[in-house]
Amino acid sequence: MAKNKIKPISLLTVPEGPTVLLDSSFVLALLNLGDPNYKAAKSIFGFVEPHNCRFHVPVYVFAEVASKIIQQRKKVSETLRMIENFKNELHGILFTGTNPTLDEIINRYKIFAKKRIRFTQSNDFYIVTEGIISKAIILTCDDGMYKKVKPYYKDIYYVATHSKKYKGDIPKFAKRFLKVVQEKNKQVNSIRVHSKKRRNLTHARKGRPS
For the beta carbon of residue 80, count every other beta carbon within 10 angstroms. 16
CA proximity to 53, closest of 158, 193, 166, 178: 178
Residue range 172-194, pLDDT digits in tens: 999 999 999 988 888 766 665 55
Residue 152 Ramachandran class (φ > 0 left, ψ -120 to 50 alpha, else beta): alpha
Q: How confident is the model at residue 7 (pLDDT cuts 50, 70, 90)?
A: very low
DSSP string, 119-170: GS-HHHHHHHHHHHHTTPEEEE--HHHHHHHTTT-TTEEE--SS-STTTTHH
Q: Give 201's pLDDT tier (boundaries 50, 70, 90).
A: low
Q: For residue 93, which amino acid is it? A: I
Q: DSSP code of 49? A: G
pLDDT in tens, 21-50: 999 999 999 999 889 999 999 999 999 999
Q: Which residues contact 21 (CB under 8 A, 6 or more apart)?
A: 56, 57, 58, 127, 130, 131, 134, 136, 137, 138, 139
Domains (ranges, CATH) in the chain? 19-207 (3.40.50.1010)
